[in-house]
Amino acid sequence: MFALLGSSPYAFVLKGNYRRLKDRCVHRTFFEDDLAYFCRGFKACYKTYGSLENLFASAMARDGAGPGEGGVWDGIALFRETMAGGNNGRYTKHIANPYSASACKRMHLSLRWLVRQEGPVDLGLWKRVSPSALYIPLDLHVGRTARRLGLLDPARKADDKKAVIALTEKLRQFCPEDPVKYDLALFGMGVT
């Protein structure tokens, strides 16, 4: 992907260089037309909000702005809508709907990397979103470990939005200022 975007992905997006992309595979199920979708969507985000951080911060600052649980979920919804708006109203399978039952794992994982500063894989680039607002990126491995440790009800098998909220609330009891700090430990224990 970086070979396609060059030394300045931001300039690549703003200049519209994504128009030259074809439909070759970039990685597994992500193709150049998917990358073009993201570029068009990012351009819409940048034009409207100046940055992705501003987009999320503005959605999270609204009180009672939408049908979600607020906070990060509303940020994901605004991101998804703005990305679709930059693509003639078309949605992509790569950005889950936070108002559905989806765990939105990819989005929560991305937010973790962008917001948290403490972990070995976290970039901590964003300052306007607090780690306390984050939700756990829930996948099979994290869900399995959480159930084994009694953090999630073992009778409930789905790794969906309800499980994300329940697990994050449980983790907030241990560390309200950074409930997602347990992500790597839960993931690592679940892989083995």
Rama region for 88: left / alpha / beta (φ>0; ψ in -120 to 50; rest) = left
Distance of CA 29 to the CA centre of its chain: 18
User: pLDDT at position 118, please?
Assistant: 85
User: Rounded to a whole number, what is the distance in angstroms from the first to the last CA of the chain?
Assistant: 30
Residue 107: which H helix or E strand, with range?
helix 105-115
pTM: 0.91
pLDDT lower than 70: segments of the chain = 63-69, 190-192
Q: Distance between CA 48 and CA 55 in Å, rounded?
A: 8
Strand partners, 31: 25
Q: Distance between CA 44 and CA 188 in Å, rounded?
A: 37
User: pLDDT at position 65, please?
Assistant: 44
User: pLDDT at position 189, please?
Assistant: 78
Distance of CA 187 to the CA centre of its chain: 17
Q: Distance between CA 43 and CA 73 in Å, rounded?
A: 22
